[in-house]
């Protein structure tokens, strides 16, 4: 089998309809698309294999001298312009905001000369494993396989060739041709032209919809364009019917090329609930923040001992992990996984994240019913029972459980927010003043244990876990949640230690995997390459956390310099992946990564607004007394 004919990750752009999304390469090929929603099987999976696993390419037939890409204004309409020896042509890609059935529309527009174009459509349902039955219909084809079907509408004649649907055609200057691909259940009749809509009218509607959504945002003027693009990306990664935000629209893009850290990120994590809420609220998107909050409350409803770290976009809990062994993986990075076994882990920090989100939601006067109070009570009662147990940690390490410092701190956050919620609610609080005293004592107990057992006595900094001397980027959260103030020597020492040990070429590693032999998924020989640990790149999110810490420590110039360096790594259409490979200077990990863009938004606001930014407000408002 061929191994990887796909592009570098940063050469992809994103289009979406707020229920699913596709990756469009700079070569005009759509190499990834799951239908009808983010976390369902892909019909184009060339991203994780080759063209035989499904793709839809429209590009010049011959030589291309240059390619220019851009989103049209502040929208998710992507335009790829090819310059050829005979002329200039653009392919305009978008997904109409869904009314009934999901569609991708592609308009080929010649701007000068005459350009010969080639279309190559290879539909492969179930992640590239099902070659569908294809039949011709007036104006295109219908492809059916299992539960799925798609209909291609083409303005030019198409033919079948080697299990593909192809066409070659000329486009002269001033002319445009519109193609559409629409999904429908195989047991239904194909959608009518009225249901699909006219592509040119759909383009105008899509442009207007995205422009209308983004025009109300409030972002720092200095980085307004970057912040708007991040907001648009987050909206495109939001499942509109529920408000859930997927971590990424992809699975198994490797954290290290050729490695096995290849995870399915098409789910919604509780881990950064409050960071997400702050980013949305700070930008003026209260409706989206409320929808995200409500998704979380519905998803976690039930017994607190069954709380998961992630759920599907509609709140499903069974995310069984499996391997797609017919796919060779992105640039040979195997295995390709769907589902995520980490959903079954015990991660203590999610209780703190959820309580913190509830506290924030109530503080900004979002809807907060009696059920919300009950949820908070059930969760904090469970924390009282389990906070002293070891857990799997924020990074989902698939090794022995440990007493992770970050996890204990987030248990402290859970109790702290419960106390503060009740104190601030006054007569509306379900718990009386005297009843809060045991919770205040528990808060103090957890705080004292972290400070006693989670500190390196030699360096004076916090460590990854009790009894360890290793560092962990999650320790940057301690200041952001208000565990200790910015002028505390232990915080200062922790940031300095991370800066010394985990900062590589200005980017923050999660932890040193070359000194974590109990992480069963390091792979390779365990050796370090140019000072970098094997197994993954440097995380964009943790580097944004580092920027936020610099702001709170008063190192504004350093924060600004690091932030500008991060901005420079966005691809040509403003997108960020999960990680940055410092050695090969390329993006790695799933793409685009929601939490990277959330980090960008929060850091921009923190630098621009200082003590009025989300980090300062969150830290000062929650500090332990």
Tens digits of residue pLDDT in 186-245: 999 999 998 999 999 999 999 999 999 999 999 999 999 999 999 999 999 999 999 999
Confidence of residue 563 (pLDDT cuts 50, 70, 90): very high
Beta strands in 391-509, from DSSP E residues, in sequence order: 503-504, 507-508
How high is the pLDDT of residue 622?
Answer: 45
Who contacts 371 (Cβ-Cβ below 8 Å, separation ≥6)? 297
Give the count of alpha carbons within 13 A of 59, CB side only: 21
- 265 vs 526: which has the higher pLDDT: 265
Q: Which residues of 570-590 are buried (b: 16+ CB within 10 A; e: fewer)?
A: bbebbbbbbbbbbeeebbbbb
Average pLDDT, the chain: 91
pLDDT reading at 625 higher than 80: no
Ordered alpha helix ranges (H), 301-330: none
How high is the pLDDT of residue 99?
Answer: 85
Q: What percent of the chain has pLDDT over 90?
A: 79
Structural domain boundaries of the chain?
A: 9-195+209-214, 221-621
- Residue 151, SS3 per DSSP: strand
Average pLDDT (3-18) is 87
Tens digits of residue pLDDT in 399-429: 789 999 999 999 999 999 999 999 988 777 7
How high is the pLDDT of residue 5?
Answer: 60
Contact (Cβ atoms closer than 8 angstroms) between residue 200 and residue 96: no
Per mean pLDDT, which range of 110-119, 312-321, 340-349, 478-487 is the poorest? Answer: 340-349
> Both tokens of residue 477?
């959260």
How many residues appear in the chain?
Answer: 625
Helix (H) or strand (E) holding 337: strand 337-338
Same fold, 9-195+209-214 and 221-621: no
Contact (Cβ atoms closer than 8 angstroms) between residue 60 and residue 88: no
Q: Which CATH class is domain 221-621?
A: mainly alpha
- For residue 594, the tally of other CB atoms under 10 A from its CB is 28
Contact (Cβ atoms closer than 8 angstroms) between residue 41 and residue 27: no
Give the C-alpha separation, 324 to 337, whole Å: 6
> Both tokens of residue 195?
């249901």
Cis, bond preceding 36 (omega within 30 deg of 0): yes
Give the C-alpha separation, 119 to 555, whole Å: 53
How high is the pLDDT of residue 386?
Answer: 96
Contact (Cβ atoms closer than 8 angstroms) between residue 236 and residue 575: no
Q: CA 337 → CA 26, 219, 289, 601, 623, distances in Å?
A: 26, 37, 30, 30, 41
Q: CA 449 → CA 395, 465, 490, distances in Å?
A: 22, 12, 14
Q: CA 554 → CA 156, 191, 549, 611, distances in Å?
A: 62, 59, 9, 10
How high is the pLDDT of residue 363?
Answer: 86
pLDDT reading at 359 higher than 80: yes
Closest among 67, 93, 97, 60 to 79, alpha carbons compared:
93
How high is the pLDDT of residue 272?
Answer: 78
Contact (Cβ atoms closer than 8 angstroms) between residue 227 and residue 96: no
Q: What are the beta bridge partners of residue 581? A: 586
CATH superfamily of 9-195+209-214: Glycoside hydrolase, family 65, N-terminal domain (2.70.98.40)
Tens digits of residue pLDDT in 448-501: 999 999 999 999 999 999 999 999 999 999 999 999 999 999 999 999 999 999
**Residue 277 — φ and ψ, nearest 5°?**
-60, -45
- Residue 12, SS3 per DSSP: strand
How high is the pLDDT of residue 538?
Answer: 87
Closest among 115, 113, 139 to 64, alpha carbons compared:
115
> Both tokens of residue 625?
């007394």
- Residue 336, SS3 per DSSP: coil
Rounded to an integer, what is the distance from CA 127 to the centroid of its chain?
A: 20
Quote the pTM value. 0.94
Contact (Cβ atoms closer than 8 angstroms) between residue 117 and residue 178: no
Rounded to an integer, what is the distance from CA 288 to the centroid of its chain?
A: 16
Give the count of alpha carbons within 13 A of 438, CB side only: 6
Give the C-alpha separation, 280 to 132, whole Å: 41
How high is the pLDDT of residue 551?
Answer: 96
Confidence of residue 560 (pLDDT cuts 50, 70, 90): very high
Q: What are the beta bridge partners of residue 94? A: 105
Q: 555 exposed, middle or buried (CB, 10 Å; 0-12, 13-18, 19+)? A: middle
Q: What are the beta bridge partners of residue 286? A: none
Report which DSSP code applies to 574.
S
Tens digits of residue pLDDT in 105-159: 999 999 999 999 999 999 999 999 999 999 999 999 999 999 999 999 999 999 9
């Amino acid at each position: 089998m061929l191994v990887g004919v796909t592009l570098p990750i940063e050469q992809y752009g994103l289009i979406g309809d707020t229920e699913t999304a596709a990756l469009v390469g700079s070569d005009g090929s759509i190499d990834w698309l799951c239908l009808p929603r983010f976390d369902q099987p892909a019909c184009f999976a060339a991203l994780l294999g080759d063209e035989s696993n499904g793709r839809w390419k429209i590009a010049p037939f011959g030589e291309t001298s240059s390619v220019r890409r851009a989103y049209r204004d502040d929208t998710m309409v992507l335009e790829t312009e090819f310059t050829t020896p005979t002329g200039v042509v653009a392919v305009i890609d978008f997904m109409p905001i869904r009314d009934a059935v999901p569609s991708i529309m592609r308009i080929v527009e010649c701007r000068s000369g005459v350009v010969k174009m080639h279309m190559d459509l290879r539909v492969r349902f179930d992640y590239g494993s099902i070659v569908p039955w294809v039949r011709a219909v007036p104006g295109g084809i219908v492809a059916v396989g299992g539960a799925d079907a798609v209909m291609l509408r083409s303005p030019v004649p198409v033919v079948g060739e080697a299990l593909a649907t192809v066409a070659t055609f000329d486009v002269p200057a001033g002319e445009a041709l519109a193609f559409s691909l629409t999904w429908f259940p195989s047991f239904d009749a194909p959608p009518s032209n009225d249901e699909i809509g006219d592509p040119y009218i759909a383009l105008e509607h899509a442009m207007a919809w995205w422009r209308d959504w983004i025009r109300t945002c409030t972002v720092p003027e200095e980085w307004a364009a970057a912040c708007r693009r991040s907001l648009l990306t987050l909206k495109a990664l939001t499942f509109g019917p529920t408000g859930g935000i997927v971590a990424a629209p992809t699975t198994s893009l490797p954290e290290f090329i050729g490695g096995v850290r290849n995870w399915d990120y098409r789910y919604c994590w509780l881990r950064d609930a409050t960071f997400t809420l702050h980013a949305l609220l700070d930008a003026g998107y209260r409706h989206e923040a409320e929808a995200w909050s409500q998704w979380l409350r519905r998803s976690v409803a039930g017994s607190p001992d069954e709380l998961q770290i992630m759920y599907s976009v509609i709140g499903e809990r069974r995310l069984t992990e499996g391997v797609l062994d017919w796919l060779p993986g992105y640039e040979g990075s195997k295995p390709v996984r769907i589902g995520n076994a980490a959903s079954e882990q015990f991660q203590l920090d999610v209780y703190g994240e959820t309580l913190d989100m509830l506290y924030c939601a109530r503080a900004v006067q979002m809807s907060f019913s009696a059920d919300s109070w009950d949820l908070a009570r059930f969760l904090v009662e469970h924390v009282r029972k389990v906070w002293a147990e070891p857990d799997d940690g924020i990074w989902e390490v698939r090794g022995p459980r440990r007493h992770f410092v970050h996890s204990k701190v987030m248990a402290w956050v859970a109790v702290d927010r419960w106390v503060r919620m009740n104190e601030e609610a006054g007569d509306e609080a379900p718990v009386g003043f005297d009843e809060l005293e045991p919770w205040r004592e528990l808060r103090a107990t957890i705080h004292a244990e972290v400070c006693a057992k989670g500190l390196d006595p030699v360096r004076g900094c916090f460590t990854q876990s009790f009894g360890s001397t290793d560092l962990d980027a999650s320790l940057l959260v301690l200041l952001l949640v208000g565990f200790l103030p910015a002028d505390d020597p232990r915080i200062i020492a922790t940031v300095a230690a991370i800066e010394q040990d985990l900062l590589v070429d200005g980017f923050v590693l999660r932890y040193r995997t070359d000194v974590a032999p109990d992480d069963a998924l390091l792979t390779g020989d365990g050796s370090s390459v140019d000072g970098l640990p094997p197994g993954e790149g440097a995380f964009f999110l943790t580097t944004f956390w580092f920027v936020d810490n610099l702001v709170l420590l008063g190192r504004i110039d350093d924060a600004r310099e690091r932030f500008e360096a991060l901005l420079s790594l966005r691809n040509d259409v403003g997108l960020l992946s999960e990680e940055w490979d410092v050695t090969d200077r390329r993006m790695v990990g799933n793409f685009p990564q929601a939490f990277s863009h959330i980090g960008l938004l929060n850091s921009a606001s923190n630098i621009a607004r200082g003590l009025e930014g989300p980090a300062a407000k969150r830290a000062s408002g929650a500090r332990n007394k």
